[in-house]
Structures are given as C-alpha cells and as structure tokens.
Structure 1
Amino acid sequence: MPRPEIEASRIAKLAAINIAVAFAVVAIKYAAYYVSGSVALFSDAVESIVNVMTAVAAFAAVRISAKPADDDHPFGHHKAEFLAAMFEGAMIAVAAVLILIKAHDAFVSGVTLEQSTLGIGLNIVATIVNGTWAWLLIQRGRLWRSPALVADGQHLFTDVITSVGVVIGLILAVITGWHVLDPLIAALVALNILWMGYRIATQSMSRLLDQAASPEIAAQICEIIAGNGHGALQAHDIRTRQAGRALFIEFHLVVPGTMSVEEAHEICDRLEHSIENAIKGSQVVIHVEPEHKAKPDDSGAVPI
C-alpha cells in the first residue's frame, strides 16, 4: 500500500478513536455536574458535548479528504478538513451562548453546590484524559499533516486549560463560601471558548482561501531548487497553496535557449523528485521558459 494511503488510514483510525474518547469525557464531566449542581461544571460539560460533535465532523472530514482525485475534483478533496475546522468554530460559538444563558439564570436564581468535592474529582479525571488525548492529536496531526486532527487537539487543549480554571475557581468557591463565583466562572469559560472558536474559524477560512506555505517551507523550497537545479539558470514566480495535507507548488524554470526538451525535462524531474521527497504531501508543477524570460535578481527570483 502506498505511503499516502497508509497515512490516511492511520488518520481515519485516530479520528474514530477520538469520537469514543469524546463520549467518555463528556460522560464523566456530566456526572461531575450532576452530582454537584455546579454551573461551571455544566459549562465544561457543554464544551465537551461540542467536542463530540466536532470529533464526528473531523472523522467525516478525514475520510472525505483521503479520497483520490476524480473528474469533478482533479486536485483531490483535501480541503474537507478545513471545512471540519470551520464547523468546529461554529459549534464552539453555539456552546458559548448556551453556557452564557445558564450562567445568567444562575446569577438570577442563585446556586447551591452539593457534593462539590466529588464533582471536582470527576472533573480532574476528565481533564487528565483530555490533556493526554489533546497532546496525542496535535502531535500525530502535525506528523501526518492533518488540519482536522490538529484543530481538534488545539480545541481540546484549550478545554484542558478551561477545566483547570474551573477546578481552581470551584475550590475557591467551596473554601470561601462565595457560590456566586460558580456562574461567574461559567461566564468566563463561555467568553474564552468563544474567542477560541473565532480563532479556529478565521484560521480555517484563511486556508480555504489558498493560504501560502509558511516562510520556513518557502525558504526550504528555494534552497532545494538552488541545490538541485544545476543546468537551469533561474527559478521565479514561485507560488504555493496549502490544501489540507497537500501542498501545491508551482514555479517558472528558466533554461538556456539551446537546451533540448529532453534535457530540460530531466532537470524538472530532478527538481520535482527532490522537493516532493523533502516536503511530504507536496505536488510540484514547473513551467519551463527560455533564458530571455529571466527576471531581475531583486524580483525574488532564485539563481541557480
């Protein structure tokens, strides 16, 4: 089985496990809320319900993105993962509104905490599970170039930070007897995840609009061209666009006017092979031009 298919299979399996983990965490957090009556723990549980929905969306996205190119989608289905991240941002916003409504009701009617120690203990267990899983999703998502897994991992990591804040706030509420801290913490949680949803949505939108590769990747591409393009004169108009796990790279390669088509083709093959081996998921398109098409050095062209 080719390496891309193995990678896609691994991503799909991890996304499927992610759904099971999300269900387990939401069950623990809801139990924490149920035994304590804490609005802050309710807010944490609601965010975890969103985690379940986004885990399902991420699973669907990685399955769709793994489909090969076809007549209707000649560049593949890679951008499906960015759509999942957009959906995640929207669901986070919905969760924030639900939490704010619950917090408002608690401010008006008041809150009485019951079995708060048990509730806090259950929430700590859920937080440890979430933290470990978030680290794994981010690490594997970056390794396998999966925006959906990385976005889900970052969301979970923010959820971990939120849960830590909730636990600390509840401990203070129990110690001091200021139960009004409970809905206040819930409101702060809602504002925090609302900001997180905005960031996830805007980053995904930027990538849906063909965001260029990072400056580090762009510099790497130039180095590879300069080091493996011997026989050519210059490369210019280097452009990149990120689409899920795929990175599309195109540039113009200037060769001597007397060079044969076969010789120019050999240089292109060498450059394509070098770039695609060094940058996983890259797909290279090269346009060959005669030497009178060369551009000035100050234009950003790469001399060879």
Structure 2
Amino acid sequence: MTLAAKAARIQPETLLRASVVVALVTIALKTLAWWLTGSVGLLSDAMESLVNLASAVFALQMVRIAERPADAEHPYGHHKAEYFAAGFEGLLIIVAAIGIAWTAVQRLMNPQPLEQLGLGLGLSVLSSAINGALAWVMLQSARAHRSLAVEGDARHLLTDVWTSAGVILGVGLVGLTGWIWLDPAVAIAVAINIVREGVHLMSRSTEGLMDGALEPEVQQAIDRTLDEFRHRAIRFDHVSTRRSGRRRFVDLHMHMPASWSLGRAAAMRAAVEQALMSAVPGLRATIQLLPTDVETGYDQEKDPL
C-alpha cells in the first residue's frame, strides 16, 4: 500500500485532532521566532497559526456534528455542518489578514532592525515543515472521505506554508541587504494572499449550501450505470443529483411496462439502486416507478409567476 493510500484511510476526526495539536506547536515555534527576531513578518505568520488553531477546533466540532445519524428533526442527516466549518475558517482567515496588514503598515511607517535571524528563521522552517506534512496527509483523506472541513483545514495549512516561505524569504533578504522595509512589505503581501484563500473557502462553503449537482465524472458514472438497464421496455428520465456534505444523492423516474407485476418492477428498481450505489460510493438513490406511457407534472409547462 502506498503512503498516499495509507494517508487516505485516516479518519477526518483523527486528522483534525492532530491539526489542533500541530497548531499549538507551530504557534509556540513561530511566536518564539518573532520574539527572537522582532520581525513583523514572523509575527504575521504566528497570528495566522492562531487562526489555524481556531479553525481546527471549529472544524472538529462540525465533523462530529456531521457524523450524527439522521433524526426526526433532520431526516436527511447533518452532513452540511462541514460547510459551516469551511465558511467560518474563511472568515477567520480574512480577519487575520486585516490584523496582519495593520501591523505591517505600522512597522512600515516605523521601521525597526531585526535580530537573531538565523535561529528565528530555523524555527519558522521547522513549523512550516510540520504544517506541510500534515496538510498533505489531510488532503489525501479529504479526497477519500469527501470532507470539505478537512479539505478546508488542509488548504489553510498549505496557505500557511506558502506564507511562511514568503516571510522567510523576506526576512532573509533583510539580513542580506539591510533593507528593513522588506519585512513589513512581505507581511502585507502575505495578508493579500491570505484574503484570497479566505474568499475561496467562503465561496466553496456557499456552493455546498446551495445543493450543487454532483461532479461531472460522478454524473457520467451514473449515466453509464443507467445505460446498462436501458432497453425497449425500460427508460429513465428526470435524473437530478445533488451533494450534501459527504453524501451524494440522485433522484430519477424509471418507466416500465404497465403489464409488469409490482414484484417484478420492484425487483428491477432494487437492481438499479444497487448498481448505482456500487458505482458511486456513498450515493443514495431515490427511484420513482412509472408506467411507460405515463408522465409526471414535471413535464407540464409551469404557469408564469
């Protein structure tokens, strides 16, 4: 089994717990790096790690809610809770970016020399390596489990890695050139990049709450499966799909001869449902049986409002 396959098997909740621990470790490392150097760029990096911690804690709670079984008040489950985690994380990222930019502007107006750059940069590199390794594992798991909460946290960690790389570059250039204005300038660039990632996460969260259709490749798998059952006596129409957290849904009408017995029709529908769920893991299929020559109200033109 490959390393990626092993990473994909790790459960989302386990990874989010690890993310909380890693966030605490990186906060300590980056805060120490800022304290040693006085770099506002490293301070901005530490502030983003605080956002990582808050995001990981919130995402962990949302994943736990999403895993709750359906109940009387939520008959379709709680799967959309993960979208709130991604939206909350995006909002926190933007707030952190505003704080970073404000601090950087103040330092740009009142430059200060940096100290102990070697040790400070070493601590920042170490924290970035930890974040990068965890983000890679989380992305493998997010794809396998279709968890937007885990994906959002992973992409935030990757943003943190790139942020740290930019900060390290800026602080290193200060050490080489003596141009102390590069430190706050890099921090401002970091803030702009963080805002972009925050907006992206909030957009993904909104799309999820809008019940978007399944991915094109998944819909193609559904079409191929239905093609296996299509013949002169059976046809399908009004096929619609949607996503809800990790769940996938498809609704469709299945037309067959009115002369068929109820038992035969039900057996055929069960075969189609089983084939669809085998072709698309996690899919929930709802199939309405209709005689071949009967159409539903969906086929009638609606009166204008």
- 1:164 corresponds in structure 2 to 165
Q: Percent identity?
A: 37
Distance 1:146 1:203 in 2: 12
Q: Which residue of 2 aligns with 1:185?
A: 186
Please name the residue that 1:299 is paired with. Answer: none
- Residue 32 in structure 1 maps to residue 40 in structure 2: no
Instruction: Determine helix, strand or coil for the equivalent of 1:72.
Output: coil
Show the counterpart of 1:194: 195
- Report what 2:300 is aligned to: none
1:112 maps to 113
Residue correspondences, number:
289
Following superposition, the deviation at residue 231 of structure 1 comes to 7.9
2:11 aligns to what SS in structure 1? helix
1:158 and 1:269 map into 2 onto residues whose CA distance is 46
1:95 — aligned with what? 96
Q: CA 1:58–1:106 in 2, change beyond 3 Å: closer, same or farther? A: same
Q: Distance in 1 between matches of 2:118 and 2:33?
A: 9
User: Residue 66 of structure 1 aligns with which residue?
Assistant: 67
What is the CA–CA distance in structure 1 between the aligned matches of 2:158 and 2:232, rounded to whole Å?
49
Q: 2 CA distance for matches of 1:118 and 1:132?
A: 22
Q: Matched residue of 1:213: which SS? A: coil
The whole-number CA distance in structure 2 between the counterparts of 1:16 and 1:70 is 26
Q: Which residue number in structure 2 is paired with residue 4 of structure 1?
A: none
Alignment match, 2:86: 85
State the alpha-carbon separation in 1 of the partners of residues 294 and 169 from structure 2: 65
Q: Is 1:214 aligned to residue 215 of structure 2? A: yes
- Distance 1:115-1:242 versus aligned 2 partners, 3 A rule: same
Alpha-carbon deviation of 1:26? 1.5
Rounded to whole Å, the distance in 1 between the matches of 2:18 and 2:233 is 49
Residue 230 of structure 1 and its aligned partner are, at CA, apart by: 6.1
2: CA distance, partners of 1:88 / 1:267: 45
Tell me the equivalent position of 2:302. none
SS in 1 for 2:255: strand
Summarize the Cα distance change of 1:165–1:123 in structure 2 as closer, same or farther, 3 Å threshold: same
**C-alpha distance in 2 between matches for 1:293 and 1:18:** 55
Return the TM-score normalized by structure 1: 0.91
Of the structure 1 ranges 201-210 and 261-270, higher mean CA displacement relative to structure 2 is found in: 261-270
**Structure 2: any 5+ residue segments left out of the alignment?**
1-7, 297-305
Question: Match for 2:210: what amino acid?
Answer: L
Tell me which residue corresponds to 1:268: 269
Deviates more, 1:120-129 or 1:11-20: 11-20
Are the aligned partners of 1:8 and 1:62 in contact in 2 as well (CA < 8 Å)?
Answer: no
Query: Deviation digits for residues 34-89 of structure 1, max 9, x if unmatched?
Result: 11111111111111110000000110011000000000000000000000100001
Q: Structure 1 runs of 4+ off > 2 angstroms?
A: 7-11, 228-232
TM-score, normalised to structure 2, is: 0.91
Moved more, 43-52 or 69-78: 43-52
